[in-house]
Chains A and B, each alone.
Chain A
Amino acid sequence: MSSPFTGTRHLVRLILRRDRWILPAWIVGLGGTITASALAVPSFYDTPEKVAGYAGAVGTSPVSHLMSGRQAGIDTLGGIVANEISQVAQLGICLMVMFLVVRHTRAEEESGRAELVRSTVVGRHAATLAALLYGVAAALVIGLVTTVSMLAVDLGLLGSVTYGAGLTLLGLCYVAITLVAVQVATSAREALGLAGAAIAVGYLVRGVGAMQDNALVWVSPFGWAQRMDAFGAEQWWPAVPVVLLTAALLGVAGWLTVHRDFAGGVLPARPGRPRASRFLGTPLGLTLRLQRGLLIGWAVGLTALGLLYGAVMPTIPDLVASNPDIAEVIGASPDVEQALTDAFLRYIFLFMAAASCGFVVTSVLRLRAEEESGRAELVLATGVRRTSWMAAAAVVAFAGVLLLTLLMGLGLAVGYAVGTGEWDRVVEHVGGQTSYLPGVLVVAALAVAVVGLWPRRSLLAWAVVAFVVVQVLLGETLRLPSWVDAVSPFSHLPEVPVEDFDPVPGLVELALAAGAVGWGLWAFRRRDVTTP
């Protein structure tokens, strides 16, 4: 008997075998970060005064609401822990399931391996089901790890379980969203773009809703998961919309699977140009063309992020005025408003700079994809020098992130102007965002060095991004030892606008970045080109 699901078990086994390193890396990396935070936080809030202080300061902070939502029970230790980890945990679990699911569906089809598998006895929906089971299992493990680490510091059974369940449900929902994206897109990269955009939208909508304290939070899966109110009222009914949406999305994904060609998208491919444009005759032109979509996607996403953050910025003084608690904690004066706005802006700059690290590493690691596919071989067998080929990719990554940085700053300024009608912040915002650029360039340069020196360890470049993100988002929560902070390129840059701008650290980092790029180029000239 063969059903549409025949062979699922076989495929799941195949997935587990192929991911015997990647899955543990996610679980250790993400689960470990969550656990470390959960274990570290309680020791900082060991008196009722400190807990109350947190509730007064962080619990009313618009930055915190925007980034982590409104956590229930913020005046309890459980609520504090949940609030501290939720940004990394929620974004992390969504990104994890997105990468895992695309990797075993669309990317697999593109590699041609799936065709081989499908020519054996495998049902039509088996691949989708296998990816679903795998994604859900991964989300479940992260949820479990979270619950267990919360129990380990005695945060209460019901709260810990509710929080872990909410996290898992959020992951489940994004597994289904990714499965739909996979069917709609014409390539794995496009699928990642669509699913990534869905994560960003869900996260931002919840953030704005929480910041303005309105019904927007109910539009986002992030909001539903959070409104299960772990460590507060603990209500489970918000799980219902999550499950319903998931079921509906899975139905759509299943329907699309039947109604599209294997390895094709839902949208039909149009005929293209028979001739290449003049720009395509150089390594730089080719690289730019190949990364055009990536750059446009990131530009749209990060500009939107900047606009949004810029637009909510002017509401900060109102939020302060309407909340006597804040005034009580920090003291009320125009200076306080300014200090809060500066702190907000500094965090936004840093957050967006960390986000743009995702672009540079994706961009630089395209080099590895080119090598592994055999396309690099095709190009390097022409008159193109190895150094030109690699330098072209570095130039696109560096220039691309410069453009993104300017767009993020402009987005902030324009968003701010839309809210206030004041157009006088352009220089401040663009300049401020740019002051964090050297840190991003260091990350990009390290990726280039990794490609040259340790081509088979290119995941190291992502480890650098993970480290930077953890340092930026959780550095204060974890109270990392100072030498760990010292390793992060961002901790050496002046905290504009809280501190005054100082060009020296940035210039030093630029020099380091140049050195790392040079090292990578040097190493690449001396090693074998990876061939398929």
Chain B
Amino acid sequence: MAAVELEGVVKTFGAVRALDGVDLTVEAGEVHGFLGPNGAGKSTAIRVLLGLLKADSGRATLLGGDPWGEAAELHRRIAYVPGDVALWPGLTGGEVIDVLARLRGGLDERRRAETIERFEFDPTKKCRTYSKGNRQKVALIAALASRAELYLLDEPTSGLDPLMEKEFQQAVLELKDEGATVLLSSHILAEAEALSDRISIIRAGQVVQSGSLAELRHLTRTTVIAETARSAAHLAEVDGVHHPRFVGARITFDVDSVHLDAAVQALAPLGVRSLSVHPPTLEELFLRQYGEEATA
């Protein structure tokens, strides 16, 4: 049974159509990446799933139940981390972790202690003194410290430093090993790629792509920009290289991640003067996939 199902869900705020017929399925036990640029409707979709917002039309199912009608019962089985965490300025981080976990229906003392240690978190400070990253840690620790069947994580790493992000990824993989389901929203492709079994891409309130990483392999190409002493024309023939463009001594091309090694081998003998390699941003992806339509 699917843990999460949205079918043709529409949600409008006045003139803004935040969700425009969203279809989304998250199978039980998978880590599902929910990708989309800012303003695409990720948070709105998650809030509909939480029964905080009422969909105008369409059907939403959460763990087999109706998120609007049975919100409180369902919430005992899930954990949620919002994108921008606001806390009570007068309570300490430790107090908030306890409160949220207890209100959810239970606190696993061992997990609480472990996660606090893992995220190097000081629970004795008042929340008003925490940075965005630390506020996010509070919500993350509270979510991880109570066992849930489903974790709804809305851009949970946007305030974390790289070291903590690594810990976060490790924690998500452990949840998956325990058999939990994770819906992880992000606007960074690489993050979703590192953790997800399957990915759905949302854009302007509609899910435009959905599938396993292998199926979406074309989305995970790397962009390479190189300046070489000798002509790099023959790179166009290397397996996995797409859209080569030449401007003077500079070549720009996209390459499937599995063929990155071959492409770099081919570049090396040409006398590389400068080299930059980056994964495509979502915006670039959309430009590539949908051309002008995406920017409109």
A binds B: yes
A interface residues with partner B (beta carbon < 8 Å)? 110, 186-187, 263, 269, 271-276, 280-283, 286, 289-290, 293, 373-375, 377-386, 526-529, 531-532
In the bound assembly, the distance between CA atoms of A81 and B233 in angstroms comes to 93
The interface centre, meaning the residue of A273, A274, A293, A531 with most chain B CB atoms within 10 A of its CB, is: A274
**A263 to chain B: which residues have CB within 8 Å?**
128
Check B100–A187 contact: CB distance below 8 A.
no
In the bound assembly, the distance between CA atoms of A382 and B47 in angstroms comes to 13
Check B99–A281 contact: CB distance below 8 A.
yes
In the bound assembly, the distance between CA atoms of A269 and B52 in angstroms comes to 34
Check A269–B129 contact: CB distance below 8 A.
yes
In the bound assembly, the distance between CA atoms of A280 and B91 in angstroms comes to 11
Consensus secondary structure, chain B interface: mixed
In the bound assembly, the distance between CA atoms of A286 and B126 in angstroms comes to 16
Given contacts A273-B92, A532-B84, 7 further A-B contacts (CB under 8 A): A187-B128, A271-B124, A272-B124, A378-B80, A382-B104, A383-B105, A384-B75
Check A272–B95 contact: CB distance below 8 A.
yes
Within 8 A of A (CB), among B37-74: 43, 47, 50, 52-54, 71-73
Q: B71, B82, B94: which contacts A273 (Cβ < 8 A)?
A: B94
Query: In whole Å, how far is B98's beta carbon from the nearest beta carbon of chain A?
Result: 4
Report the count of interface residues on B (CB-CB < 8 A).
Answer: 42
Query: In whole Å, how far is B140's beta carbon from the nearest beta carbon of chain A?
Result: 12
In the bound assembly, the distance between CA atoms of A528 and B78 in angstroms comes to 20
The interface centre, meaning the residue of B88, B94, B103, B105 with most chain A CB atoms within 10 A of its CB, is: B103
**B72 to chain A: which residues have CB within 8 Å?**
383-386
Q: B78, B82, B152: which contacts A378 (Cβ < 8 A)?
A: B82
Q: B80, B89, B90: which contacts A381 (Cβ < 8 A)?
A: B80
Q: Does B285 contact A (CB under 8 A)?
A: no
**A377 to chain B: which residues have CB within 8 Å?**
47, 50, 52, 82
CB pairs A–B below 8 angstroms (19 shown):
A110-B128, A269-B128, A271-B124, A272-B91, A272-B95, A273-B94, A275-B95, A275-B123, A281-B103, A374-B82, A375-B86, A377-B50, A381-B52, A383-B103, A383-B104, A385-B71, A386-B71, A528-B52, A531-B53
Check A293–B90 contact: CB distance below 8 A.
yes
In the bound assembly, the distance between CA atoms of A110 and B126 in angstroms comes to 14
Report the nearest B residue to A261, measured CB to CB: B129
Q: B102, B123, B124, B152: which contacts A281 (Cβ < 8 A)?
A: B102
Q: Does B87 contact A (CB under 8 A)?
A: yes
Q: Does B139 contact A (CB under 8 A)?
A: yes
Check B52–A290 contact: CB distance below 8 A.
no
In the bound assembly, the distance between CA atoms of A40 and B10 in angstroms comes to 56
In the bound assembly, the distance between CA atoms of A373 and B82 in angstroms comes to 12
Within 8 A of A (CB), among B98-115: 98-100, 102-105
Report the nearest A residue to B139, measured CB to CB: A378
**B123 to chain A: which residues have CB within 8 Å?**
274-275
